[in-house]
Amino acid sequence: MRQRARASVVLWATVAVVFGTVNGWTQQSSTGSNQKVTAVRAGVLIDPRSGTVSRNQIIVVTGSKITAVGPDVPIPPAAEIIDLSKSYVLPGLMDAHTHISWNSGWGDEGTYARLETESTAFRALMAVKLAREALNAGFTTLRDVGGIEGEYAMTDVRRALDLGWFTGPTIQSCGKIIGPYGGQYHRVAPEYGRTWTHDFLDADSPDEVRAAVRRNIFYGANCIKLVADNSAYHYTVDEIKAAVSEAHSAGMAVAVHVLGGEAARNVILGGADSIEHGHNLDDDLLRLMKEHGTFLSGTEFPKSHLINMYRSSTEAEAQDAKEVDRLRRSYKIGVKVVFSTDTVINMPGETRGQTMMDYLDQWVRAEIPAPDILRAMISNNAELLRIADQRGRIAPGYMADMVAMPANPMDDIKALRGINFVMKNGRPVNQKSSGGD
């Protein structure tokens, strides 16, 4: 027995060394000794939470975490030095509404018919590709809000990233979207059965909603997504409360797809953490969101994307005006807004990261100041995703996620398109250009 125990210890020690080598670390014990040390010279360090800037800062990173920040911090003798003394440095960007296992055109029937030809394995491979493109553009944290990943593809994508098999952002994944009968499908012929259940979970009572939340958690989801009003019927306050109670008990936030009206009121009163889209929200509902602390993850599509979706410039322009107006009103009323994209389309000549950056145009048109856009992208998103004690700041104890660029995003938010340095969990990400692979 003692020989078998010693063999087991040797085996696991070997595995630890192998995985440590794969991940580029030299850690020898759980105390953090002999981890790689990096010192970053930051010309201008931006704190999006407070809106303040500090010049000529030194950021010391030990392993995956920041251990010291300041103008006179001593640089450890063996540290690798990264010179960003002519750059603007800030925490990594975040996007609260992504579907990184999907890259296609648009249209109700065509969209879901395509999903039936793509396996879960194919979607996982797509996610690895698109996640890397997002990371290279500066997005170090993503929330994938489900519904397009088949049989929980994103759980395995997250696992592979955690093991260091691929380089990518931190991902939260919601699993299958929970909704009233039919999910987000329309006009399915009865003889074909419930084809949507590969991407959605039907739940038509508080008890069924609770069971669906538990099923998602069982299969690895670490956030929960509902669709409240995709049909003539929508969720009640009690059904929303059931999802919120179950998810919050597991330490997870609840996002709900809803456009407006009574369904949106039920979502707010039910205690959901965020409304996704909300394009038809009136001022009364926005004030109710402010009162209840409900985040708005508004997914304001750029006009060029809307034209790609609708194939009609008239429809695209009308939707574009509505979304920008709602974002402007939300900001003025004081709703907690977060940067979110929902891009699933393949824009010609753009990577997924570049396509996500297109959404900055809508925030500028909504007349939101650049410092508040940065706060929405980083600090507000960190709060919504329940990781504000881990990510979203460049401070001791936080994970070393940061980006840098030659121009000041506090003056012009579009400077983010020029991100030319990305660090993820203390490791620089090699890239040919911002957004490229």
CA distance 255 to 290: 16
Is the pTM here over 0.85, yes or no? yes
pLDDT confidence bin for 16, thresholds 50/70/90: very low
Counting beta carbons within 10 angstroms of the beta carbon of residue 288, is it exposed (0 to 12), middle (13 to 18) or buried (19 or more)? middle
Sheet holding 200-202, edge to edge: 200-202, 177-179, 224-227, 254-258, 274-277, 295-297, 337-338
pLDDT confidence bin for 19, thresholds 50/70/90: very low
pLDDT tens sequence across 247-279: 999 999 999 999 999 999 999 999 999 999 999
Q: Which structure tokens are listed for 368?
A: 């939101």
CA distance 178 to 197: 10
Could you tell me if 404 and 85 are in contact, meaning their C-beta atoms sit under 8 angstroms apart? no
Whole-number Cα distances in Å, 168 to 142, 154, 162: 10, 12, 9
pLDDT confidence bin for 431, thresholds 50/70/90: very low
Q: Tell me which of 358 and 189 has the higher pLDDT.
A: 358
Region of 279 (left: φ > 0; alpha: ψ -120 to 50; beta: rest) is alpha
CA distance 273 to 348: 34
pLDDT confidence bin for 192, thresholds 50/70/90: confident
**Upper half-sphere CA count for residue 51 (Cβ side, 13 Å):** 8
CA 188 and chain centroid, separation: 31
Q: What is the pLDDT of residue 196?
A: 83
Q: What is the pLDDT of residue 112?
A: 59
The CATH number corresponding to 36-92+394-428 among 3.60.150.10, 2.30.40.10, 3.40.50.720, 3.30.460.80 equals 2.30.40.10
When the pLDDT of each residue in the chain is averaged and rounded to a whole number, the result is: 89
pLDDT confidence bin for 435, thresholds 50/70/90: very low
Q: What is the pLDDT of residue 126?
A: 93
Mean pLDDT in residue range 152-160: 96
Q: What is the pLDDT of residue 114?
A: 61
Whether domain 93-384 has CATH 3.20.20.140 = yes
Kindly report, as residue ranges, where domains of CATH 2.30.40.10 are found in the chain: 36-92+394-428
Q: What is the pLDDT of residue 34?
A: 79
pLDDT tens sequence across 21-42: 333 333 333 334 579 999 999 9
Does pLDDT of 110 surpass 80?
no
Q: What is the pLDDT of residue 379?
A: 98
Q: What is the pLDDT of residue 31?
A: 36
pLDDT tens sequence across 203-228: 999 999 999 999 999 999 999 999 99
Kindly report, as residue ranges, where domains of CATH 3.20.20.140 are found in the chain: 93-384
CA distance 82 to 68: 15
pLDDT tens sequence across 353-395: 999 999 999 999 999 999 999 999 999 999 999 999 999 999 9
Q: Which structure tokens are listed for 56?
A: 């000529």
Q: Which residue type does 387 have?
A: I
Does pLDDT of 185 surpass 60?
yes
Q: Which residue type does 163 have?
A: L
Q: What is the pLDDT of residue 6?
A: 41
- List the one residue out of 102, 93, 213 whose CA is nearest residue 142: 93
| Paired sense of beta strands 427-428 and 421-424, if any | antiparallel
What is the 3-class SS of the chain, one letter each residue?
CHHHHHHHHHHHHHHHHHHHHHCCCCCCCCCCCCCCEEEEEEEEEEECCCCEEEEEEEEEEECCEEEEEECCCCCCCCCEEEEEEEEEEEECEEEEEECCCCCECCCHHHHHHHHCCCCHHHHHHHHHHHHHHHHHCCEEEEEECCCCCCCCHHHHHHHHHHCCCCCCCEEEECCCEEECCCCCCCCCCHHHCCHHHHCEEECCCHHHHHHHHHHHHHCCCCCEEEECCCCCCCCCHHHHHHHHHHHHHCCCCEEEEECCHHHHHHHHHCCCCEEEECCCCCHHHHHHHHHHCCEEECCCCCHHHHHHHHCCHHHHHHHHHHHHHHHHHHHHHCCCEECCCCCCECCCCCCHHHHHHCCHHHHHHCCCCHHHHHHHHCHHHHHHCCCCCCCCCCCCCCECCEEEECCCCCCCHHHHHHCCEEEECCEECCCCCCCCC
Could you tell me if 303 and 317 are in contact, meaning their C-beta atoms sit under 8 angstroms apart? yes
CA distance 310 to 299: 16
Q: Tell me which of 73 and 183 has the higher pLDDT.
A: 73
Q: What is the pLDDT of residue 436?
A: 36
